[in-house]
Every structure is written in C-alpha cells, then in structure tokens.
Amino acid sequence: MTTLRYTTAGESHGPALTGILEGLPAGLALSKERIDAELIRRQGGYGRGGRMQIETDLVDITAGMRAGRTLGSPLALVLKNADATIEELPVPGNARPGHADLAGSQKFGELDTRAVLERASARETAIRVALAGAARQLIEHFGVRVFGHVVELGGERFAPSDVRGDAQGDGLGDAELPPVDEREQRRDASQFYSLFPERDEAFIAKVDAAKEAGDTLGGVFEVRAWGLPPGLGSHASGPERLTSRLAGALMSIPAMKGVEFGLGFEAARRPGSRVHDAIDPAEASDSADGSDPVASPNGRFRRRTNNAGGLEGGMTTGEELVVRVAMKPISTLRRGLDTVDFETNETVRATYQRSDVTAAPAASVVGEALVAFELARAWREKFGGDAMSQVTAAVEFYREQLRSL
C-alpha cells in the first residue's frame, strides 16, 4: 500500500487512545523518542489546565516494527490514559455552550452528553500527534522540515510592535523570521511556543488576567514547511488538491475556526499585481553548494516572492509552505455561560469541568503534526514504493528530472 492513512479510537477518559497507521514503506528507521518528543510538546505551553499534570504521554508501538524499522504492515500505537475514569464520571445535567454537547445529544436522540463529549474532546488529538510523529519521519528522512509556532494570542501579536508582517498577511514576513536553524531554539525558549520568548512575561500576565476573570483566550498559529519539491498534490481533482487537504486536516482539530495560506485573506484586498508571485531563473545561491543554479532543489526556476504560501493549483511550488490557523477561545469557562437544565428547562449556568485558559501553544503542535502528515501522504502518492530503497530511487529520479526540465 502506498496510500498513507490512519484511524483512531478512544475516549478522553477511557483506558487508552489507539491509532492505526497504514502505508509507511518497509525499512524506514522509526524513532519512538521522536514521537514522544512531540507528545511532550503537546502537553506544554502556558495556560494549560490540570489534565496535563495528570497525564504522561508516552506511546507504545505494538505492531508494524521490527529492530527499529517499519515492516510495511500497519503500525499500531497505544497511548494510555492515566485519568481513565469514564465509568465513574457523572452525566452533566446541561449542555455547555461552544461544545458538541447539545448538537451531539440531539443527533443521538438522548440527553447523555457524556456519550458525546468523551470523543469530541481535544484529548483525541494526542494520538493523532503520535501517528503524525511516525509519518513525518518519512519526509524528514528526505530533508523536509515542518515547524509550527504561535503568532497571536488573545488578539495581540507576539511580534514586537516594530515588526510588521506585510509580506505574509498577519504572519511574519520571511525577512523577519530568524534563520531556520534558530527557529526551534527560540520557540523552545518560549512558554507560548512563539518566536519571541522575550515577550512571554507580558503574555503570562494576559493569561493570568483571563484566568482570574474566569475567561479563556484563543490565538493564531502558523505552520511552515521547507525542503519540499514542487509538484506534491494534484490539480486534477478538487478533493485531491493539497490546499483542500491541508485545510481540511487543520479544521478537523477541535476549536479551529479559520485557515489561510500565504497572504490569505489579505490577498482579497490587493490587486493581482501585488499578489501573484513572479517567476525567476534559479540563482547560484539556491543550489546546495552555491555554485550551480541547476542544482537548486526546485530545478531551474524559483518564485520572486511567496505570497501564495508555497501552493499553486493545489500543488507545492517548491517554496516554503506557509499556513496559518485561527483557534477560538476554549469553550469551557470557569465563570460559565447560560444554558438550559435538561430536567427543568430553566436557565442555569453551564457545568464547569477542568479546562485550559488557553491551548493555542498545544494547538500549534497538533497543527504542525497534521500538516506533516498530509505532506507525508502526498509524498507517498507522488513517489510510491513498497520499501525505502524504492522510495529513495523515485525521489532521486524526480530531482534529476527537475534539474533537467
């Protein structure tokens, strides 16, 4: 099988979350520690609630590997829940605004919100981060890197006031980003997973104020990927366009409300002459050793700008992929919102259950994971192969074709 796909099972307070990943080629060296590192990152970030102090997310790989390498058969991952109390927890007597509680109960025809909220919970994203942590190791083997960071929290940008992102809408322009090798270091130094750890103190105060008020905060995160060849994805079918697949994957994360690529909504406000990316010959500096323009990973061509965010016609252009996602504030408010009691039909305050003040940092980890998964899926479709040796041969052939085109 050369189609990468997964399925998950499990509830927020059930015994475990389980994931099955199909389509990895045989012979891929797979690091469990690499997967665990992403799970640990997902648990972090300032503003998280008590659940993350209970769980220790480390994955068990129970099938699909031998001697540290994939077998080409389905990969099975298990993530045990420490707070496995699903049979003991009460059924809330009302539906919480902003959650799946009421719509789900109406869907199933009974007012048991526990049957809905256990699966609708963002806890399910932990196993998806684990699955993507395995899948992304395929494209990382070929030099592709995927990076997520928070750019906005509670309506305020992390970038200092003297930094403007006009080249990329509300995100950061390429000239304002730190060098690639410094990005992870700066993000890891920030409690909010931003590129400006020196601004953490101000945002800690912002989150603390929201917590004191019994409120929550949303945010915006950005995911970038570099090292991608042109031509991943497809122009031939709407559902197969990489743009639609990435947007769909990102919108599958609970609480996400919007996705934009490159300039995003800003592109609708500009004339075409200030939106579309002119095409230039590749320069010598684009090549691996700075000497041969034809040795550029993208072949003999490059975009002068990257307003498209690395995607045209549903396919990668070879430029850096840039996508941003808007997350609404967490729906569970300590002070509660009005709702209706199921028994009396009277207005009451919504039941409060343990929650975060903000989960934008964690959401950036989930978003990064799902972008990486979709890129790995597109990679499998483009290059095929049952074993890593065959995938490698196909990639090398394609790169040579790009150089000679």
Known binding residues for NADP(+)? 42, 48
**Residues whose CB falls within 8 Å of the CB of residue 257, separated by 6 or more in sequence, listed in order:** 218, 326, 327, 328
The angle subtended at Cα 62 by Cα 61 and Cα 63, nearest 5°, is 105
Diameter of the chain measured on Cα atoms: 77
> Using an 8 Å Cβ cutoff, are 50 and 153 in contact?
no
- Residue 303 sits at φ, ψ, to 5 deg, of -90, 135
> Which residue ranges are tagged as binding site?
42, 48, 119-121, 313, 328-332, 354
> Using an 8 Å Cβ cutoff, are 304 and 280 in contact?
yes
> Using an 8 Å Cβ cutoff, are 64 and 32 in contact?
no
> Which residue ranges are tagged as binding site for FMN?
119-121, 313, 328-332, 354
Distance CA 74, CA 335 (A): 45
Residue 242 one-letter amino acid: L
DSSP letter at 292? -
Distance CA 222, CA 51 (A): 25
Pairing of strands 69-70, 65-66: antiparallel
